[in-house]
Structure formats: structure tokens, C-alpha cells
Amino acid sequence: MGAPPKLDAPIITPQELAEADGILFGFPTRFGMMAAQMKAFFDATGGLWREQSLAGKPAGIFFSTGTQGGGQETTALTTVTQLTHHGMVFVPVGYTFGAKLFDMDKVQGGSPYGAGTFAADGSRWPSEMELEHAFHQGQYFASIAKKLKGSA
């Protein structure tokens, strides 16, 4: 799609998803939904869907948008359809992060659907609060995944 490859980032195959106890998907948005590359990755999971290999697995999302109106919540909502077709259990972070999510004094990404950041043109790095929200989401998600695995 014209983006340079990230040679230092590990690459997972769709088939490897079946090995996970839970999956937190992270991706940038394009026009209020997941980027085409991520959609292509989900499209490659047809065999997993046919076998229902991901059914019952917890899944969550986090995201990055270029602007405040870039679609953080619409990205989450349109991603839920992918998870639903696989029978995955969507685990939103909700408002478990607390009052920091309501701070209106600073520009910050994130929502009850998942942690997020505003990347602008790629030059803005996540704020301390956005990083804390992401860390919290990871801990919260892992606790839910552990509970689900323990009850199986």
C-alpha cells in the first residue's frame, strides 16, 4: 500500500492467532476504520473462521488516529464485526482507567473501547496519560484472559 516495511517488527501469520490465549489488536485508522493492511490480515483468517479456531478467545483493540476526529470510536465499532464473525469475546477497557479519561485539559486519545493516541502526521508521540491507559488496558485484558482460560 506504499508504506515502507518495518523490518525490525515481528510479523505474525493469521494461523498463529489460534495459539494465543487472547489477542489485543493494535492498528492505525484510515477514514474512521482499520487500515486496509489490517483488513487484509483479517481477510486472511478465513480458514480460522471456517474451523472456528478463534471462537471464545478474548480480543481487544487499541488504535492511533491522525486527528481528534479521526475515528477512534468508529474504528473500534467496525472492528467488532471482525471479532464477532470469529466468535471472539470483545473485552473493552470500559472506564476502568478512571477519571484520567475525562481530563479535558490536554489532547489525549483513547476511549472505553480501547487505548488510543493521536499521531498527527506521525510526529506526535503518545502522551504519558495515553501510555498509562495502554498499560492499564494490557493489565486489565490479561486479567480477563486469565479468568476465561481458568474457567475453560
Short-list 29, 26, 9, CA closest to 120 = 29
Q: Which helix (H) or strand (E) holds 128?
A: helix 128-151
C-beta of residue 94 within 8 angstroms of C-beta of residue 115: no
Sequence ranges of the domains in the chain:
18-148
Q: What is the pLDDT of residues 7-62, one digit of tens each?
A: 888 889 999 999 999 999 999 998 899 999 899 999 999 999 999 999 999 999 99
Name the architecture of domain 18-148.
3-Layer(aba) Sandwich (3.40)
Q: What is the pLDDT of residues 73-113, one digit of tens each?
A: 999 999 999 999 999 999 999 999 988 888 888 888 999 99
C-beta of residue 113 within 8 angstroms of C-beta of residue 78: no
Q: What predicted TM-score, i.e. pTM, was given to this entire model?
A: 0.90
